[in-house]
């Protein structure tokens, strides 16, 4: 029997509520399959931990996480702790420390999910965003000079290394080739006259190794418009850290809402564990009410199964989510329903069981 060791970081606000449902789904799969099992280890890190201990995670936190097969994270951030601290000292520390340089965010309007765009067929919203996740605008390089004085100056530098830029673009070409899809690069070479001119150049260079893959390149502002007006143009998409962050929230809103958007932080070489999380935050406005939508977290559990080599179960979880949406009877309030978080998790499980026992 194979045992997958998974580190759980439920985090803040609604994080623990959604992670609980994802864990239930994964345990159900393990029970039904009987060839593998999960060993969960929970870490209490996050903003509450910070208020007690003055740190978001233990000093040797990365060392503690290193030996796990994967990390399953809820959300971090809560009023009272500055967002740049909660983000940098936990989430970004893990993404960077474990070189999870690929952020995979599917933007697919599942059957039954509420459509947001007029005049667009459901099948036309089916993109896979591959966001650079280790440097770029989130490199944390800069300075804050003459703080509070009249001549105050703030610098926030984008860092685009050749290694970092090439590897993410090559990864995206590999995915596009494997899936028989086009690859679109999104940048801003007109205004960002160093970083994005470089990005475009590397995209051109790497594309020569993939003559069989159709390619396109857009400026980020035009891409934002086209994602709404003509989303079918986008199949596999590669973009920088900040642009990817913003565009995938836009993507989430046209693909059923933030309660359905999942993301995987991947270290492709598997030197370090990869991390799976819903892309939403800790939603303090609805935390503790048992009404948060767990489907994004459950979708990220499906990404985890893909990563662990059980694509069959990854696909089944997605199918289970889709069945719940099509049925439309067990939905949380953000999707117009009146069900609880727990009900929605159970509804996914209810659909999974017969699919697996068949």
Residues that bind ligand NAI (CB under 6 A): 75-78, 83, 87, 91, 258-259, 277, 280-286, 292-293, 296, 334
101 closest CA partner among 51, 33, 156, 170? 170
Of these partners, ligand NAI, Mg ion, none, which one is at the site of residue 256 (CB under 5 to 8 Å by kind)? none
- 85 or 356, CB closer to ligand NAI? 85
Of these partners, ligand NAI, Mg ion, none, which one is at the site of residue 77 (CB under 5 to 8 Å by kind)? ligand NAI
Of these partners, Mg ion, ligand NAI, none, which one is at the site of residue 293 (CB under 5 to 8 Å by kind)? ligand NAI
Q: Which of 245, 277, 334, 343 binds Mg ion (CB under 5 A)?
A: 245
Of these partners, Mg ion, ligand NAI, none, which one is at the site of residue 245 (CB under 5 to 8 Å by kind)? Mg ion
- Alpha-carbon distance values, 111 to 152, 237, 320, 327 (Å): 52, 22, 11, 10
| Least distance (Å) between residue 146 CB and ligand NAI | 28
- 189 or 278, CB closer to ligand NAI? 278
CB 200 within 8 A of CB 164: no
Q: Where are the alpha helices (DSSP H) in the chain?
A: 15-33, 47-53, 61-65, 83-86, 92-97, 162-179, 195-207, 220-229, 241-254, 295-307, 311-327, 341-357
| Least distance (Å) between residue 21 CB and ligand NAI | 10
3-state secondary structure of 134: coil
154 closest CA partner among 140, 143, 139? 143
Of these partners, ligand NAI, Mg ion, none, which one is at the site of residue 143 (CB under 5 to 8 Å by kind)? none
DSSP run (H or E) holding 216: strand 215-219
In the chain, DSSP finds a helix count (H) and a strand count (E) of 12, 12
- 105 or 181, CB closer to Mg ion? 105
56 closest CA partner among 26, 79, 85? 85
Binding piece for Mg ion, criterion CB under 5 A, among 177-185, 223-231, 243-251, 320-328: 243-251
| Least distance (Å) between residue 136 CB and Mg ion | 14
What is the bridge-based pairing of β-strands 70-75 and 274-278? parallel
| Least distance (Å) between residue 245 CB and Mg ion | 4
- 207 or 253, CB closer to ligand NAI? 253
Of these partners, Mg ion, ligand NAI, none, which one is at the site of residue 258 (CB under 5 to 8 Å by kind)? ligand NAI
**Where along the sequence are the contacts to Mg ion (CB under 5 A)?**
245
């Amino acid at each position: 029997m194979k045992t997958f060791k998974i580190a759980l970081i439920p985090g803040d606000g609604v994080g623990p509520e959604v992670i609980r449902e994802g864990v239930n789904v994964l345990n159900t799969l393990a029970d039904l399959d009987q060839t593998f099992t999960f060993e969960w280890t929970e870490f209490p890190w996050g903003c509450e931990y910070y208020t007690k201990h003055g740190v978001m995670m233990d000093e040797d936190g990365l060392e503690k996480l290193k030996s796990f097969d994967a990390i399953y994270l809820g959300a971090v951030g809560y009023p009272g702790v500055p967002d740049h601290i909660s983000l940098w000292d936990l989430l970004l520390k893990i993404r960077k420390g474990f070189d999870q340089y690929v952020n995979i965010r599917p933007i697919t309007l599942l059957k039954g999910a509420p459509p947001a765009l007029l005049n667009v067929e459901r099948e036309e919203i089916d993109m896979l965003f591959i966001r650079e996740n280790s440097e770029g605008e989130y490199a944390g390089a800069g300075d804050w000079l003459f703080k509070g004085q009249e001549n105050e100056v703030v610098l926030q530098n984008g860092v685009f290394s050749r290694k970092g830029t090439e590897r993410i673009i090559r990864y995206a070409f590999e995915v596009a080739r494997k899936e028989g899809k086009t690859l679109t690069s999104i940048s801003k070479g007109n205004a960002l006259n160093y970083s994005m001119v470089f990005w475009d150049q590397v995209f051109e260079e790497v594309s020569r190794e993939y003559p069989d893959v159709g390619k396109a390149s857009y400026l980020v502002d035009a891409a934002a418009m086209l994602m709404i007006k003509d989303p079918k143009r986008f199949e596999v998409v590669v973009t920088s850290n900040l642009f990817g962050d913003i565009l995938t929230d836009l993507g989430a809103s046209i693909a059923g809402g933030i309660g359905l958007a999942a993301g995987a932080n991947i270290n492709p070489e598997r030197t370090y564990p990869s991390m799976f999380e819903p892309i939403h935050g800790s939603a303090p406005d609805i935390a503790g009410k048992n009404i948060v939508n767990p489907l994004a977290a459950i979708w990220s559990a499906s990404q985890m199964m893909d990563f662990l080599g059980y694509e069959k179960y990854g696909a089944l979880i997605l199918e289970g989510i889709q069945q719940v949406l099509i049925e439309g009877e067990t939905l949380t309030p953000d999707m117009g329903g009146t069900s609880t978080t727990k009900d929605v998790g159970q509804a996914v499980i209810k659909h999974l069981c017969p699919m697996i026992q068949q």
